Amino acid sequence: MRPWDSRYLPRHGLLAGAKAVLLGREATEYIRQIAYEIVLRACGFASLGIFCVMIGMSFDAHLAFQAGGTLTLMMCAVLIYKAYEARTKSYRYTEMWLYLPEDRRPPKASAQRISSMVLREVYLTFARWTALISIAMWVIALFFFFFEKLLG
């Protein structure tokens, strides 16, 4: 038996909305987990492509890390655009909505607000991480640039 089962909560008074609050938090966390997995998979595929480009340019480390930093920065820009787009995109046309089981979906009255908020938050989190990775790649490219100048 779940602790928020309606048999244990009063129908009126201060604790009447406790069930909705507990179910709302649980549902939002589940939606956030689904969104995280979807964006993680998409970023993983993009990173695989970036890694392949970097391997193709591995004959010149400076060029490889410069290309990796540029492509990662482009991925960051796409994630920021997707975060901007998440505010107005209909929740029914998102990949996240397809992965949510019928019984775990939020009510239609609040589905747009919850899905756009969660997707925006997840996209911006991944954009922040991607920007840091891009900065690290540019710093490594700068290191190789100066290292080549010292030896060459």
Total count of domains within the chain? 1
* Residue 55 resides in a domain: yes
Distances (CA, A) of 20 to 7, 82, 114: 13, 30, 14
Blockwise average pLDDT, block size 10, the chain, 152 residues = 43 44 72 96 97 96 96 98 95 92 89 94 97 98 91 76
* Residue 43 resides in a domain: yes
Cβ neighbours of residue 139 under 8 Å, at least 6 residues apart? none
User: Furthest-apart CA pair in the chain: how many Å?
Assistant: 80
Q: What is the pTM of this model?
A: 0.81
* Residue 87 resides in a domain: yes
* Residue 147 resides in a domain: yes
Residue range of the domain that includes 118? 29-151
The answer to whether 66 and 138 are in contact (CB under 8 A) is yes
